[in-house]
């Protein structure tokens, strides 16, 4: 069975699972695509030569590799996107303290 654009996809380059966000799916459908891209967002950016602003980091919290769109001041203390978002939630929840 053919994968749908809205399915959870596996990147053929980095083998990470990824899901397109709704805006991207909408754009794909508008452009007439019926099958999903083979590459995740990061790999597509790298392939398109837009990777100059992405820097590979190793998350200090979970140890996963991720890419950030800025040059980390201290790469050893950088969080991946997932942990960063979690950390922000925790920070917001405890900001009244
Ligand atoms: Zn990828
Ligand atoms: Zn992490």
The vertex-65 CA angle with 64 and 67, nearest 5°, equals: 135
Q: Which ligand is nearest to the CA of 66?
A: 2
Q: Report the alpha-carbon distance of residue 72 to residue 55 in Å, rounded.
A: 8
List pLDDT tens digits, range 4-19. 777 889 999 888 898 8
Which residues face 53 on adjacent strands? none
The reported pLDDT for the residue numbered 2 is 63
Q: Can you say how many angstroms the Cα of residue 12 is from the centroid of all Cα atoms in its chain?
A: 15
Tell me, in angstroms, the distance from the centre of ligand 1 to residue 65's CA. 12
The residues placing their C-beta within 5 Å of ligand 1, an ion, are: 11, 13-14, 40, 43
| pLDDT tens track for 16-75 | 898 888 888 888 889 898 888 888 887 887 777 665 567 788 899 999 888 777 777 887
Q: What is the pLDDT of residues 67-82, one digit of tens each?
A: 777 777 887 788 888 8
pTM equals 0.44
């Amino acid at each position: 069975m053919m994968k749908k654009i809205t399915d959870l996809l596996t990147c053929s380059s980095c083998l990470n699972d990824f899901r397109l966000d709704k805006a991207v799916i909408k754009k794909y459908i508008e452009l007439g695509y019926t099958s999903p891209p083979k590459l995740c967002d990061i790999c597509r950016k790298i392939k398109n030569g837009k990777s100059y602003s992405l820097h590979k980091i190793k998350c200090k919290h979970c140890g996963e590799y991720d890419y950030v769109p800025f040059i980390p001041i201290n790469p050893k203390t950088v969080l991946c996107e997932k942990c960063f978002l979690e950390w922000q939630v925790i920070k917001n929840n405890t900001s009244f303290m």
